[in-house]
Structure 1
Amino acid sequence: MGDVTRPLSRDEQIEKLRLVLAGGPGISVPETIFLHGLGATGKTRVIKWVLETEQIQHAVFHCVEMYNVRLMLESLVVQLTGEESRKCENISEFISFLGQELNPKQVYVILFEESERFRDADSHLKHVFCRLQELTGLNICCIFESRIDWTRFLPNRGLPYPYIIHFPQYKKGEMTELLISQLPGEKSWEFKRDFISLVQSIFFMVARSFTELSFRSFTELSHIAGLHYSEYCRPVDSGECKETDTKKLWFNIDKDLKKCLSVVHLREVSSQQLRELQKQKEEQEEQDTGVGGVIALNPTRLSVELPFYSKFLLISAYLASYNPAKTDKRFFVKHHGKQRKTSQSIKAKEKFNSQLTGPKQFPLERMLAIFYNVIEERVNPTANIYTQISSLVRLQLITAVGTDQMDQPKYKCNVTLEFIRTISKSLQFEIQKYLYSQ
């Protein structure tokens, strides 16, 4: 089971979910539950905690991977049944299999993360999952987690009205308590509170109001606090000062913290890494001759200058360009089961050498699906992510293909394997584990 710590400041939402998902003989759970609220308000954490603590059989699917419906259906089947692998070609097979294999007396839940992407899915798919209990005869509930409210989520058109639970923004005191709970170590609560208060005061420099701070920046604030907490604690641990010497502790991290906050939404690197990489950059500039084309030709220097997310986006673009789409299930779907090697698959792999055939074009949705799987943390799909994709295009690291298709832009990756290995090394990311062919 995952994190067993009860989510803070969400008692009302937890009790509502426990009440409606209790189920039991003769008691049906709702067909659909709709959780909505702004980003970083605890929706996913709360529902996952309830499902695990109540030991409800469930399946989780992140809708960024909805570019391939077959992979979605197979992943849901594997999670709900516990089987190692199961082929499911279409929605009819999915409904039939659930009706035959699952226990009608047991409660099942399917959770769709970031389900606002459902608006772009086939209308038949929307109707099926909103009426899955009726179609299968099971005590099954589909939960849609979204940043938008129900009126903007799906057109009514005969769909059953869901049980709606709203997750409001955290208040300032609640946010402080949450950030304190995430800090490691056994320092006193007062010491941690002073640190978080100092970080929040600086963070207001990049947020116009507390509303913007809580909505746009909570995850970034948590990241920044985690990066600088050990440096804040260092003088106390070494005996240079006491926990109550707030002023001295603050001056120890003030400069690095302000420098890191200047690029907070790009999530570049920690302050220590920033200093080291800046030094490498200056040394490299002394060796370089000429001005034009240096960044694109020098992967070491580029790995310094690219933001953190841009590096992972470039890696994702490379994998999408050089790995066949059919291998995404093996590399990026957690519940994909085992894959047997056959003579046909071995011959196909020998025939397919991506390094010789060159990069293939891929849709934006596929690259983002890979990105959200390879990065180790939960990332919100904000405008900053799409801005960094545009920056990679301007740097000619990836190329936009077929820009006339506004609803489904496609790209190609322009960098070499050696280049990607250098970028991956700076992130301590094992690229070899995700390459289809060497």
Structure 2
Amino acid sequence: MSGMEATCSKKLWQIVSVLRCRNSSITHVHVYGTTAGAKDEVVQKVIEEVKENDEVMVLRVNCYVNHRSHKLFCQGLYNLLPHSKPGKKIENLESVFEECKIELHCMKSVIMVIILNNAEMLLNFPPSFLQALFSIPKKYGGTIKLVSVARLPWTRFEITEHISSPVQFAFEALSKADMHSWLNSSIKGEVQEALSTRLNFDNNFVRCMLDMVYSVCRDLNQLSYIIEKLWDTESNDGNWANNAASNKLKTCYAVRGQNRTEDLFYRSEKRFVEDGQTFCLSTSAKYLLIAAYCASYNPPSSDRRFFTKNHGKQRRRSTVTKGLRNNFESAHETGPKPFPVQRLLFIYLAMLEKHDMRNQCAADIHAQVAELCAMGFLNRVSADGNLDTPKYRCIATFEFSEQLAKTMGIEIRDFLIDFSS
């Protein structure tokens, strides 16, 4: 057991001890940490350990669903009670906690534990409501306990005034080695059995998958889901299993899994565009926005390839270095880049020329740029005093730009270096 696992195990039993204690004056426990930590897993194990005792009753409240109003929160908490009456209205905290006390007698339980998941959403309520939420349970002699689970420490809940004095448990982000160890021990069921007994490469498989997605995903729940889904979809393929068993996981994944990853990231599924679908933009503004998107997501060196007629030499050079381009980060992963207005004008005019629309779109480009900035499609990144070479960035989404281009009869992927062959 690593040091991090030992620490998590120690905190787990400390939380369980506090919640099981009947005569304790502690009625509020706050558990916090990022998604890259073991917070959610520890809370789940705490619930499992506590529920083994018949004298403890557990309710789980999703604050994300019930944060819109005081009445909705109180009613949602009441509806979780096993003996709640349909149609009964509960509008204040005093009433709902009285119902909780009655429920304890009905269930012959001694302690009720209320888990407040996504507790940071409680910040939408005024401090007076939160003070009442965490102070009223003290009247019941420790029989009702609250556990707030959030990403933020409790000090962030008390920016203006004091609300509560909980016992806090912090869970730091796991290192890559700790995350690998945790995933190995947490994957259960058929996946774990197949990985450990049939192919005997569970450690290598989990390590490979962690290497693939660690830079963009460190949520243990999501990582477990990815590993299980990949195994479910590929385990029936004999070639995939043989490659995996022979420690060729990365090569195998690069061939069979990378396409799925890109499709998920780029949302490249085909969508039907209705003929009547319109956008509140003039024709020239539509072409200008498409040109701005290409300028933000293409390097300047590719303009000759995409927007000039005689670019055979450029294309031949591109095919030679095609294999090298995979070593660089995708423009759609690093985000839009700024571009000067002169480059935007060049791409805009090239698109008009290509689609024979130059005579129909004779509007002033500066007025169109100002309109797109006002609508939130473009963002000026240069100083206001820079009038000679102003720079902009396109902040429109790929989905919107693709649909807009299709209404103009343009396949925008043909003009983006991330998608062109």
Taking structure 1 as the reference length, the TM-score comes to 0.52
Aligned residue runs from structure 1 range 27-426, under 5 A: 27-28=23-24, 30-55=26-51, 56-65=56-65, 66-80=67-81, 82-85=83-86, 86-99=88-101, 102-103=104-105, 106-137=110-141, 139-155=143-159, 157-180=161-184, 181-182=186-187, 184=191, 186-189=193-196, 190-204=200-214, 207=215, 213-214=217-218, 217-236=219-238, 241=242, 244-247=245-248, 250-262=250-262, 277=269, 281=270
Q: Map Cα deviations across residues 354-393 of structure 1 (whole Å, 9 max, x no partner).
A: xxxxxxxxxxxxxxxxxxxxxxxxxxxxxxxxx99x8899
Q: Map Cα deviations across residues 112-159 of structure 1 (whole Å, 9 max, x no partner).
A: 111011112122220112212224455211111010111112247343
Change (3 A) 1:391 1:20: farther
Contact 2:120 2:152 in 1 (8 A): yes
Residue 358 of structure 1: aligned partner:
none
- The alignment partner of 1:34 has SS state of strand
Please, which runs of 5 or more residues in structure 2 have no aligned partner? Answer: 280-394, 404-421
Taking structure 2 as the reference length, the TM-score comes to 0.53
Residue 370 of structure 1: aligned partner:
none
Q: CA deviation at 1:83?
A: 2.9
Q: Map Cα deviations across residues 20-53 of structure 1 (whole Å, 9 max, x no partner).
A: 11213xx125121010100253333422432333
Q: 2 CA distance for matches of 1:169 and 1:73?
A: 33
Q: 2 CA distance for matches of 1:118 and 1:16?
A: 25
Q: 2 CA distance for matches of 1:196 and 1:292?
A: 45
Please, which runs of 5 or more residues in structure 1 have no aligned partner? Answer: 1-7, 269-273, 295-386, 397-438
- The alignment partner of 2:235 has SS state of helix
Q: 1 CA distance for matches of 2:398 and 2:72?
A: 30
Letter of the aligned partner of 1:200 in structure 2? L
Contact 1:64 1:114 in 2 (8 A): yes
- The alignment partner of 2:257 has SS state of helix
Residue 296 of structure 2: aligned partner:
none
Contact 1:32 1:144 in 2 (8 A): yes
Residue 344 of structure 1: aligned partner:
none
Q: Map Cα deviations across residues 305-337 of structure 1 (whole Å, 9 max, x no partner).
A: xxxxxxxxxxxxxxxxxxxxxxxxxxxxxxxxx
Contact 1:34 1:143 in 2 (8 A): yes
Q: CA deviation at 1:100?
A: 5.3
Letter of the aligned partner of 1:125 in structure 2? F
Q: CA deviation at 1:182?
A: 2.3
Q: CA deviation at 1:293?
A: 5.3
Change (3 A) 1:148 1:222: same
Contact 2:38 2:174 in 1 (8 A): no
Contact 1:23 1:29 in 2 (8 A): no
Letter of the aligned partner of 1:130 in structure 2? F
Residue 10 of structure 2: aligned partner:
12
Contact 1:44 1:113 in 2 (8 A): no
- The alignment partner of 2:80 has SS state of helix
Contact 2:61 2:115 in 1 (8 A): yes
Change (3 A) 1:265 1:230: same
Q: 1 CA distance for matches of 2:240 and 2:210?
A: 26
Contact 1:31 1:132 in 2 (8 A): no
Change (3 A) 1:44 1:222: closer
Change (3 A) 1:392 1:67: farther
Q: 1 CA distance for matches of 2:152 and 2:263?
A: 28
Q: How many residues align?
A: 270
Letter of the aligned partner of 1:21 in structure 2? L
Q: CA deviation at 1:170?
A: 1.9
Q: 1 CA distance for matches of 2:82 and 2:141?
A: 16
Residue 351 of structure 1: aligned partner:
none
Q: 2 CA distance for matches of 1:113 and 1:240?
A: 39
Indicate the structure (1 or 2) with the bigger Cα radius of gyration.
2
Cα root mean square deviation, aligned: 4.0
Q: 2 CA distance for matches of 1:234 and 1:155?
A: 54
Q: 1 CA distance for matches of 2:100 and 2:276?
A: 62
Q: CA deviation at 1:265?
A: 6.3
